[in-house]
A = this chain, B = another copy of it.
Amino acid sequence: MGTYDESDRLAATTIRMLAADAVQQANSGHPGLPLGAADMALVLWTRYLKHNPADPAWPDRDRFVLSAGHGSALLYSLLHLNGYDMPLEEVKRFRQWESATPGHPEYDPQRGVETTTGPLGQGFGNSVGMALAERLLAARFNREGFPIVDHYTYVLASDGDLMEGLSHEAASFAGHYGLSRLIVLYDDNHISIDGSTDLSFSDNAIERFAGYGWHTQRADGHDMQAVDAALAAAREVTDRPSIIACRTHIGYGSPRQDSAKVHGSPLGEEDLRKTKEYYGWDPEARFYVPEAVREYFAQVQEAGADRQAEWEALFSAYEAAYPDLAAQWELHVRGELPAGWEQQLPVFSDEKPVATRVASGKVLDAIAPSLITLVGGSADLTPSNNTLPKGGQVVSRGDYGGMYVHYGVREHGMGAIMNGLALHGMRPYGGTFLIFSDYMRPTLRLAAMMGLPVVYVYTHDSIGLGEDGPTHQPVEHLTALRAIPNLLLIRPADANETAAAWKVALKRKTGPTALALTRQDLPVVTPPGDILAKGAYVLAEAQGGPPQVVLLATGSEVSIALGAQKLLAEAGIRARVVSMPCWELFDQQPEAYRHQVLPAGVPRVSVEAGVTLAWGRYLGGVPHAALGIDHYGASAPYKTIYQEFGLTPEKAAEAARRLVS
């Protein structure tokens, strides 16, 4: 247990003052958390956190997650003082256009920002994924005498984080999996935006986390010694995650201490001055860092550099002893997959009809063995999502060598944990029904915003799931997912497009991909190969002349469009069928290609088992019809539902005939 003196207190004060100045300068932001949490942050960052600001990418660094992202000014203070690439100029530009200091922390690994936080609960969930990744990597890469993966994940979480349902899913998961390298500092300040937490929140959080199997402690969050002792005790626990409820006072030392008013508004010049007086600071000083504090943090930084140097030496010896493993490690660190993995992708031909979820399972069977960083899973729908590859070992408490995670009925938790896995260099995919993408939607947005290569395996993607009925039948979800910037939604028409979809998804390094897959069998109608790279393509050209009508479809409705094409041919009408598995990729193609696929002046009919809201994007400017479902589904065998809702080759052909005549 460490001891603390004036130099530590001065450092903590400096953290506070920088943060308060930043908020005041921006005239916007949250001073309450930095003032309240600076003491525990100081203990953690100077005595426990293993990091080297000179190399923020050091793979074996401890991770720090500010789950309470509204306290961003605290993080920017810490990063600046610790010597990260966070110059004082940027702290002064807090919350301004194109600054490095946005209102809530945005994933910025080169500056030490480990994840994007702000939407409450998300950082907490990410941290569980990071702590899991640490164990998965340790199981894969560590060897006797070579603990090259050996670090902790620390979280600073707020009341709000713990109120969010996501915290339940992630904490219950972490408890089940015994993630002992996860240590949460809970900033227990008794205040939320609406006022005292007495208004809405009376959980005994410690008892609740004990129910999840966590190690729990309480500490005075302004007593550095006490926080230090609790952290030391937490690190001794080797079979469970730890939470330390640190009683703090929001806005500590300001005239607004213990009030909701200090949560999300600047102190104002007068209260800022009074706060500085409380801390014995020059009330007129702004963005001031005493030389002694500079020296204090320089020492901390030096210690961090030394630790990385030790690790680098260890890694060199490891590289000599285990060159193959070390090579795989390097690939992992660069976020790359081993060369040639795509050659394992199966080809489907002369097959009987197969559901795309089944085809997806066959793809995983084929490729999973060669991808050491691939981590699969499902939110308790493994047999339905076909996500567990043949021979895939299951991860369990104390045994992290496997590649498959039973996430439980925790879609939101799965999403946040997958983001944490991806942030830590793993390649996660996770399954649930497409309908339940709604349960995890906030995590998709963050994966897309951060550019994380997460893959969502969304099966049962339409009314085609049949008897489970409208509560389980997505109709609006394809559109709602297409609306998320930087998320690719791929809805393959058959088994071959499914293999191509996985190729796109796993080769993608700049953002997440959602696969929408069928429960029901589909005939194999597309050729194998790179058919998906352009997002949409002419699958079946009109015969005997230029097309008189273009049929556009995605997923299971491509077969319906092909059936309509046949009916139209019998009626002497030339129709082209365009398969459009991925709108986003199609939209990125040059105009010439898009016009080639969708020729000007030729009428179009779209067929998709979902809302037609956004199809105007591809139908405008020519006579057109949109076949879809602008209402909820029904519980019945799926063929009946398709029939009753008019999604059939006959109806599609009829619509096309009307346009042509």
Contacts and interface: CB of A to CB of B under 8 A. Distances in A.
A468 B30 CA distance: 10
Contacts of A118: 468-469, 471-472
Interface in A390-423: 394, 396, 406-410, 412-413
A28 B168 CA distance: 32
A372 to B, nearest CB: 23
A160 B201 contact: no
A365 interface: no
Interface string A582-610: 00000000000000000000000000000
A613 interface: yes
Contacts of A412: 165
A143 interface: no
Given A118-B468, A378-B194, A616-B616, A212 B201 contact: no
Given A193-B380, A613-B482, A408 B200 contact: yes
A204 interface: yes
Contacts of A484: 476, 480
Interface string A123-166: 00000000000000000000000000000000000011001111
A211 interface: yes
A151 to B, nearest CB: 25
A239 to B, nearest CB: 12
Nearest to A610: B483
Contact of A616 (B104, B202, B620): B620
B97 A641 contact: yes
Contacts of A212: 203-204, 208
Contacts of A96: 635-637
A271 interface: no
Contacts of A95: 467, 469, 635-636
A427 B644 CA distance: 35
A57 interface: no
A104 B468 contact: yes
A659 to B, nearest CB: 14
A394 B201 CA distance: 15
Contacts of A410: 163-165, 200
Contacts of A116: 471
A29 interface: yes
A456 to B, nearest CB: 15
A197 to B, nearest CB: 8
A175 B192 contact: no
A194 B617 contact: no
A160 B411 CA distance: 11
A118 B435 CA distance: 11
A614 interface: yes
Contacts of A193: 380-384
A249 B500 CA distance: 43
Interface string A174-209: 011000000000000000111101011111111111
Nearest to A70: B468
Interface in A462-487: 466-472, 475-476, 479-480, 482-486
Interface string A89-120: 00000011111001110100000000011111
Nearest to A265: B383
A96 B467 CA distance: 7
Interface stretch (A277-285, A297-305, A439-447, A502-510): A439-447
Contacts of A331: none
A172 B203 contact: yes
Contacts of A311: none
Nearest to A102: B635
A186 to B, nearest CB: 13
A275 interface: no
A329 interface: no
A442 B449 contact: no
Contacts of A634: 97-98, 102
24 contacts: A95-B467, A95-B469, A97-B637, A103-B467, A104-B468, A104-B469, A118-B471, A119-B436, A165-B169, A168-B168, A173-B200, A192-B409, A194-B382, A200-B410, A203-B213, A439-B442, A480-B480, A480-B484, A483-B613, A485-B631, A486-B631, A616-B619, A620-B620, A621-B621
Interface of A: 26, 28-29, 69, 95-99, 102-104, 106, 116-120, 159-160, 163-169, 172-173, 175-176, 192-195, 197, 199-213, 378, 380-384, 394, 396, 406-410, 412-413, 435-436, 438-439, 441-442, 445-446, 449, 466-472, 475-476, 479-480, 482-486, 611, 613-621, 624, 630-632, 634-637, 640-641, 644
Given A172-B201, A480-B483, 10 more contacts: A104-B635, A106-B471, A106-B635, A194-B378, A194-B380, A200-B406, A208-B212, A475-B485, A479-B614, A613-B614
